[in-house]
Chain A
Amino acid sequence: MVEISDKEYQELRSRKKELEAAESKFRTIFETSIDMISYVDRHGKILDINNSVENLLGYKKDEVVGRNFTELGVLSLENLPRIFKLFTDTIQKGEAETKIELALKCKKGEKVYVEVGTNFIKKDGKVEGVVNIFRDITERKRMEENLKQSRDQLAQSERLASLGRIAAGVAHELNNPLTGVLGMAQLMLEETKKGDPKREELEIIEESALRCKGIIQSLLSFAQKTLPEFKKINLKDPLYQSLRLIKKQLILKDIQVETDIPPAVREIEADGGQLTQVFLNLLNNSIESVKQKGIIKIQAREDRRDNRMIFTFEDNGSGIDPEYLPHIFEPFFTTKKKEKGTGLGLSISYGIIQSHNGSIECQSRKGKGTTFTIKLPIRQSGKEKVFSCG
């Protein structure tokens, strides 16, 4: 037994109090940190976590402490090698990347994006454990993702707008000579008697010129956007109208159409004829893409927050190659055989939805199917029109 003097005893008591005060101070800082903090030993066993872990990930201290960090479901398999490297670098080399970004899974399954910084704690010159600080960057990530999406959409709009300008110029230049071809063929037909073998040749010229006229008009529709005539319409009308028009093809391929539209769907201000055209284009593409007995699902729902309607057209067809996906709204882009499409359907649909102040997007997985999502405002502010000449 070692005897100590009163003075030494007083000193030890005072140092103990200081240590307790320091411990209490650091514990308070540790627990009140908005960032999540964990302390793990050199084998990966979790020794301590702060309150933010429970707040952000939903795990209580006693569910986590004593377990190895790799056992918890918070890290996805693809993230494990990165966090493992960060951990071993910190332990072995006494150094690590200062920050890495990770996605963690909450107890309830939601994803939380974090930025992780690590440091080591040494005892007797040896690394005893690792401190990890996780900063929640989910909101920043979401904003970055939104920004990226907006940029991509803007780039796509600009690309399509410039293609539209070129297309409009070409179409306009073609209309003049085509007036000559069509007019002359029809005038010569008027002068050619029935039974004259020349009639058939002239009719071929006339028919071809009328076909060109149709293609050019479609191209101009995409490029210049035909003005929609906004009226209050029930969305079911253009949808069922397009389904009626395409009924034969659906029956031929024994395709099942499942519609999920709320019975009391709100009226929207739109051009019913133009929306029928869009729906027909999407349905046509789906019919081309699905096999015999395929399924097309059509859904509509109201987005009350943004005061708009959202439609999805989903099929279980062949899907679109990822390399083609960025080009599907461009005029004349088609993967169909020449006789089956001009490659204008989707570009016209894009133009129509844009002139309705809406958006159209496509998601597709090769071999699995394609989903088009259309977002349309319920009210059009101050846009109207009827163009009467022609």
Chain B
Amino acid sequence: MEKKKFLVVDDEPAVLKVCGMALAKLPIEIVAARDKKEALKKLKENVFDGVLADYKLLQHDGLSIIKEARKLYPKIYAILMTGTLKSEELEKKIRKTKIDKCIFKPFTVNELREAVRECFGQ
């Protein structure tokens, strides 16, 4: 099976590391980025099938990265990770940005893999 490419954006190195190691067991190639600038650069350098971005980054929010990714790849699968709780404000933003899946930190390795598998219909 051809490997799908996934961009993971988080400013926490530990989270990036966990995502990389957990998803390594799936037929997925992971490209990591720690901020929006790096994410946009990687988005232009590679062709992506999915993006997994943290909601609250140091300077930007993950939703703006997902919006940029959608401009380049309209069908890209988008997962948002967040350390916050469900709220009306978050819900509105998720609907507006048409996020496919949202996972709440701290997630288990299986929750993460499940979210990614769902995105690919596996």
List A residues at the B interface (Cβ < 8 Å): 168, 171-184, 186-187, 190, 209, 212-213, 216-217, 220-221, 223-224, 226-227, 385, 387, 389-390
A180 with B17: CB separation less than 8 A: yes
In the complex, A176→B13 CA distance in Å? 10
Interface string of B22-54 (1 = CB under 8 A from A): 100000000000000000000000000000000
A182 with B106: CB separation less than 8 A: yes
Interface residue range, chain B: 20 to 34
B91 with A186: CB separation less than 8 A: no
- Check: B12 CB closer than 8 A to any chain A CB: yes
A227 with B86: CB separation less than 8 A: yes
- Check: B101 CB closer than 8 A to any chain A CB: yes
In the complex, A182→B107 CA distance in Å? 8
Closest chain A residue to B87, Cβ basis: A224
- The secondary-structure label for the interface of chain A is helix
B22 with A179: CB separation less than 8 A: no
B37 to chain A, nearest CB (A): 20
In the complex, A209→B108 CA distance in Å? 10
List B residues at the A interface (Cβ < 8 Å): 12, 14-15, 17-19, 21-22, 56, 83-88, 91, 94, 99, 101-110, 112
Across-interface contacts of A387 in B (CB, < 8 A)? 86, 91
Given A179-B105, A180-B17, check contact A221 B22 (CB 8 Å).
Answer: no
- Choose from B86, B102, B105, B107 the contact partner of A226 (Cβ within 8 Å): B86
Across-interface contacts of B17 in A (CB, < 8 A)? 180, 183-184
A390 with B88: CB separation less than 8 A: no
Can you offer 26 A-B residue contacts whose CB atoms are under 8 A? A172-B83, A173-B83, A174-B83, A175-B105, A176-B15, A176-B105, A177-B12, A178-B106, A179-B15, A179-B18, A179-B83, A180-B17, A182-B108, A183-B14, A183-B18, A183-B19, A183-B22, A183-B108, A183-B112, A187-B21, A187-B22, A190-B109, A213-B106, A224-B85, A389-B94, A390-B104
Q: A179-B105, A183-B107 are in contact. List 11 more A-B contacts (CB 8 A).
A: A172-B84, A177-B12, A181-B106, A183-B15, A186-B110, A212-B106, A217-B85, A227-B86, A385-B91, A387-B86, A390-B102
For the complex of A and B, 5 pairs with smallest distance between CB atoms: A180-B14, A183-B18, A175-B83, A389-B102, A178-B106
Closest chain B residue to A223, Cβ basis: B85
Across-interface contacts of B86 in A (CB, < 8 A)? 226-227, 387, 390
